[in-house]
Structure 1
Amino acid sequence: MPDTSEHIVIVGAGAAGLMAAREFARAGKRVTVLEARDRCGGRIHPLPTSRFGYPADGGAEFVHGEAPVTRGLLSEAGLSLQTIEGTRWSFDGTRLSREGRDNPHEAELHAALGDLNDDLTVAEFLRRHFAGDEYAPMRHAIERMVEGYDAADPERASTLALREEWMDGGHHSQGRVVGGYGALIAFLAAECCKHGVVIRLDCAVVAIEESTAVVVRCAGGEAIACDRVILTVPLPLLREIALPQAARELAAAAADIGFGNVIKILLRFSRPWWRGKTGDLADLTFLLSDETIPVWWTQNPSEHPVLTGWFGGPRTAALTGLNRQALIDAGIDSLATIFGLTRDDLERDLVAAEAANWAHDAFARGAYSWATPRTRAAQERLARADGTVLFSGEALYRGRDMGTVEAALASGLETAGLILQR
């Protein structure tokens, strides 16, 4: 008979929360998932197929690197992964050109990284080893990657945590889930329900109390008694939930883990007009620039006429006052400059648009985590499974691709495993 004597409450129905819930339920535990939103997925946010012509992702989109947990889950769900193909381009303010991967200082960079034993912030590493004018293009490229790709602050980001990424040029394989990440979340949620997990939506947790039992209090006034609570919410939300003293002291370690923001804009056009600018752009995947919305990508190898804009890191604070429409306008202006077009040219072909500044999302307060030189020690503290209030999620993942869906899934799996082994 299943052992339902222990009641586990999981706060957050994102990838980590659902993954942990399924593992507990499979082991016969009684599990309740409390989710503040009216949907599962968290920072995975599927958009309507009717608007974009396919299940577009308003939040997490890519599968990075090997991602063994993600790939295993996709196989179990009968979902497939599409590898991204094509060429990268850049705009230097004057012209478009293929993004070169050649770095004349690559050997020096790799040598300095290889000799690094004590961690430094990225900014300090560059100042210490590559301060000369001849290194300016490389410094700019590294800072752009740290801010844009990792959503991190070079003045705080760990060099050792990013070393492997730099050593392969930041070009490890990427793919997309066919059907979008929403399909994976739907599978996980269905699995949870099949195994008896109770998922409560529109239930924002405001406090956790400990006395003779653990009590989870929701914004609506409801109190739920349980034996153990696992918090899988984004790091900034830990400050907004009243916690017992021991858990509050533990949660303070999260200050040593970076958390970055992302602005994401999706523009659907009636036709892939960028392919006509030059024959080479027919194979475009990523486009980098220094415009207001600096990074763009296509759905290549799929032929959906959608361009996605991306702006990550601390500089997104400059756009904090822009609402959804103003962000869309900024994206259109950036594309117009890059391709030498007018706003009218672009708006004539525009079918649908969406924009999100994830810092404005009340249940995220940003996009994903990144490592500082003090992050690994903080993760070790937060990942402990020896209390009644525990922590899990992408921010606690100690592998290479921190801040990814893989990180969230792996952390949820690890947390459940640690508790079930006790």
Structure 2
Amino acid sequence: MSEPSEHIVIVGAGAAGLMAARELARAGRRVTILEARERCGGRIRPLPASQFGYSADGGAEFVHGEAPVTRALLREAGLSLQEIEGTQWSFDGAGLSREGRHDPHEAELQAVLRDLKDDLTAADFLRRHFAGVEYERLRHSIERMVEGYDAADPERASTLALREEWMDGGHALQARINGGYGALIDFLVTECRGYGVAIRLGCAVSAIEQEGGAVAVRCAGGDGLACDRVILTVPLPLLREIALPASASARAAAADDIGFGNVIKVLLRFARPWWRDHGEDLGDMTFLLSDEAIPVWWTRYPDQHPLLTGWFGGPRTAELSHLEPQGLIEAGLDSLAGIFKRSREDIARDLVASAAINWAHDSFARGAYSWATPRTRAAQAILARSDGVVLFSGEALYRGRDMGTVEAALASGLETARMILRR
């Protein structure tokens, strides 16, 4: 059994890193977190309540599905959830309509998915089973979900990993945290510090060096920190930028078999909920889907904050990679103008505050979250091994249904810590 004096360095103060740190520190381990940013939270990014009228989320926002680890932590923190309710609408280029029309081929899709034994990419699945012209609407719907909801590339995404999501039509339970994910991060940071965790901000790790039994973690500025073990919780693209010992580097190469997608998020706060003036009854609208440049929008319903959040996920976000935040805000206004048949200037008159985040432009994220390819489960098994002094953790290593979520990050961090404590 490890001695209580064992020093563990965790790289990254996102959900996985903080969760692992708390579990290890309260079991008596000495823990230091090194975080490249000047804040904790990683891809959870709170935006000022003074700007948006509530604690807005520039990154992760929803609690997906049952999320047992997240919900248990929220109970500990005394935080509550607001379940998502209301109606979903879509814009087909001509007009708005309520979502809910069932595709005539839905039963056929469900049957093929149930019988599927061997994994293949989403694009190959559609080409093999639903290639005919009569399936055009079904293909479009599935591709939109894979790219928009999962931020994934249909040519690489695993059909088996997405099967449950498709079979419930993407209608799994969703909720928001009252106070936003920032409130949960604040709780975890307070807990970590209470258990003696040292959190060093502004320290971008560039190398992990091992010589005999000695391990040192080096920051970009040249500072080194000696320790007994390291847990890497950084987003997948950053693994390529950290020099690792040979054995860890060989395992890190498996990350190439895990997909990683991007998200652009645009938040627009208005003086009033002007979309309710539209002809249709949009009073309880939650989500609005379209094929505009910023294709997905949602409201705060049932909260009454007059805010629309735009979302663009997947490989096609590269089309807007040249735009700075103001350009993305303007693209968002243009998209709303197209949907609601109003001028951009007319909509902008009611604009009170705005923000746009292209997660690919965040140098400490390089994208939003991971997704599974047909080779991902094998890659996760390699990365999750506990041998050696360098361990990997984070949402990309989660083997449950909702990979890429905060729940996945929290659960992975907890499992990594418990793996160390079992040794």
Aligned partner of 1:180 in structure 2 is 180
Residues 221-245 of structure 1, C-alpha deviations (whole Å, 9 max, x = no match) = 1000000000000000000101111
2:42 is aligned with 1:42? yes
Task: Give the whole-Å Cα distance in 2 for the aligned partners of 1:278 and 1:59.
Answer: 32
Please report how far the alpha carbon of residue 278 of structure 1 lies from its aligned counterpart in structure 2 after TM superposition: 3.1
Per-residue CA distance 1:148-181 (angstroms, 9 max, x = gap): 0000000000000000111111100100000000
Q: Quote the Cα distance in structure 2 between the aligned partners of 1:34 and 1:303.
A: 39
Partner of 2:31: 31
Deviations 1:244-285 (A, max 9, x none): 111111000000000000000000000011111135100100
Offset of 1:359 from its aligned partner? 0.3
Q: How does 1:76-155 map to 2 (within 5 A)?
A: 76-155=76-155
Distance of 2:166 and 2:327 partners within structure 1: 34
CA–CA distance in 2 between the matches of 1:344 and 1:148?
Answer: 27
Q: Does structure 2 retain, via aligned residues, the 8 Å contact 1:25–1:192?
A: yes
How far off its partner does 1:127 sit? 0.3
In 2, Cα distance between the equivalents of 1:168 and 1:103?
Answer: 13
Cα distance in 2 for residues equivalent to 1:348 and 1:355: 18
Matches within 5 A, 1:269-280: 269-278=270-279, 280=281
Instruction: Output one character per residue of 1:277-311: Cα deviation in whole Å (capped at 9) or x when no partner.
Output: 13510010000000000000000110000000000
Shift of 1:347: 1.0
Quote the RMSD (CA, aligned, Å): 0.9
Q: Does residue 250 of structure 2 align to residue 249 of structure 1?
A: yes
Q: Distance in 2 between matches of 1:118 and 1:390?
A: 30
Partner residue of 1:239?
240
In the TM superposition, 1:392-407 aligns within 5 A as 392-407=393-408
Distance 1:252 1:163, change over 3 A: same
Bigger shift: residues 143-152 or 109-118:
109-118
Name the amino acid aligned to 1:16.
A
Q: Deviations over 1:115-152 (max 9, x none)?
A: 11110000000000000000000000000000000000
CA offset at residue 101 of structure 1?
4.4
1:204 aligns with: 204
Distance 2:257 2:68 in 1: 27
Mapped partners of 1:370, 1:389: distance in 2: 23
Secondary structure of the structure 2 residue equivalent to 1:398: coil
1:388-416 residue CA offsets vs partner (Å, 9 max, x unmatched): 00100000000000000000000000000
Structure 1: stretches of 5+ with no match in the other structure? none
Normalised by the length of structure 2, the TM-score is 0.99
What does 1:321-332 correspond to in 2, within 5 Å? 321-332=322-333
Deviation at 1:386, TM superposition (A): 1.4
Out of 112-121 and 57-66, give the one that drifted further: 112-121
Percent of aligned pairs with the same residue?
Answer: 77
Aligned to 1:284: 285
**Residue in 2 that maps onto 1:229:** 230
Gaps of 5+ in 2: none
Partner of 1:348: 349
Secondary structure at 1:280's aligned position in 2? coil
CA distance in structure 1 between the partners assigned to 2:279 and 2:303 by the alignment: 19
Is contact 1:101-1:169 (8 Å) kept? no
| Rounded Cα–Cα distance in structure 2 between residues aligned with 1:257 and 1:61 | 23
Query: What residue number does 2:374 align with?
Result: 373
State the partner residue of 1:193: 193
Structure-2 residue corresponding to 1:306 = 307
| Partner AA of 2:34 in structure 1 | L
State the number of aligned residues.
421
Relative to the length of structure 1, the TM-score reads 0.99
